[in-house]
């Protein structure tokens, strides 16, 4: 693939397009704390994946009252060509003084932790928080790429390695940002 780098045993690639079309073991959803669906990538995932995703989200709500910012939960992927959807709640950008950066990093870290727990070999991430939640795109890309690199460099050797991580950029601006930053990994 054209835009890809290797860290240890994992290939990190860049794609432009719609994450609901990606054949990965897990795709990540940029959800909100209610887990009831919304606009942007969240709306697209629920629409394409069907009602079984929402049904599992409702059960999680009953159990733990939704999902906090920076946390992540796993459901079926319903009709999508993936096995799991990992829903994470990114921070709303509020100037950067409300721990937005740490919270965004936690999103990526918690998704990778859940992926490992489910023995996921391939995972696709959207550009969490960079849509309706207005996180600055350059900064969000730096955080995403560093979180992934740190996690791969730290992964236990007893753990089955993640083979593939894909960053799926929906807009040209994010795609161009990732393309330029991936060469620096």
Applying CB under 6 A, which of residues 5, 109, 132, 139 lies at the interface with ligand ADP?
132
Q: How far is the CB of 161 from ligand ADP (least distance, A)?
A: 25
Residue 115's closest CA among 14, 25, 5, 10?
Answer: 25
Q: In what order do the strands lie in the sheet with 10-16?
A: 4-7, 10-16, 164-169, 122-125, 26-31, 84-89, 72-76
Interacting span for ligand ADP (CB under 6 A) from 40-48, 53-61, 95-103, 149-157:
40-48
Interacting span for ligand ADP (CB under 6 A) from 3-11, 77-85, 143-151, 168-176:
168-176
Residue 176 annotated among the catalytic residues of the structure:
no
CA distances from 94 to 18, 32, 46, 140 (A): 27, 16, 27, 13
Interacting span for ligand ADP (CB under 6 A) from 108-116, 144-152, 154-162, 165-173:
165-173
Using the rule CB under 6 A, is 42 a contact of ligand ADP? yes
Residue 27's closest CA among 103, 105, 128?
Answer: 128
Q: What's the token pair of residue 57? A: 């989200």
Query: Which residues of the shown chain bind ligand ADP in the complex (CB under 6 A)?
Result: 18-20, 30, 40-42, 44, 90, 126-133, 168, 170-171, 174
């Amino acid at each position: 693939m054209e835009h890809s780098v290797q860290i240890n045993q994992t290939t990190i690639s860049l794609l432009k397009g719609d994450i609901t079309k990606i054949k990965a073991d897990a795709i990540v959803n940029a959800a909100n704390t209610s887990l009831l669906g919304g606009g942007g990538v969240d709306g697209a995932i629920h629409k394409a994946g069907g009602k079984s995703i929402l049904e599992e989200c409702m059960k999680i709500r009953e159990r733990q009252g939704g999902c906090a910012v920076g946390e992540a939960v796993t459901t079926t992927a319903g009709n999508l060509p993936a096995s799991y959807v990992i829903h994470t709640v990114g921070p709303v950008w509020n100037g950067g003084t409300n721990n937005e950066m740490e919270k965004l990093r936690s999103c990526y870290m918690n998704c990778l932790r859940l992926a490992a727990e489910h023995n996921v070999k391939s995972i696709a991430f959207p550009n969490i928080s960079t849509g309706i939640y207005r996180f600055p795109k350059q900064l969000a890309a730096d955080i995403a790429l560093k979180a992934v690199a740190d996690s791969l460099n730290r992964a236990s050797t007893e753990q089955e390695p993640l083979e593939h991580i894909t960053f799926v950029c929906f807009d040209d601006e994010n795609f161009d940002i990732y393309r330029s930053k991936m060469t620096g990994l």
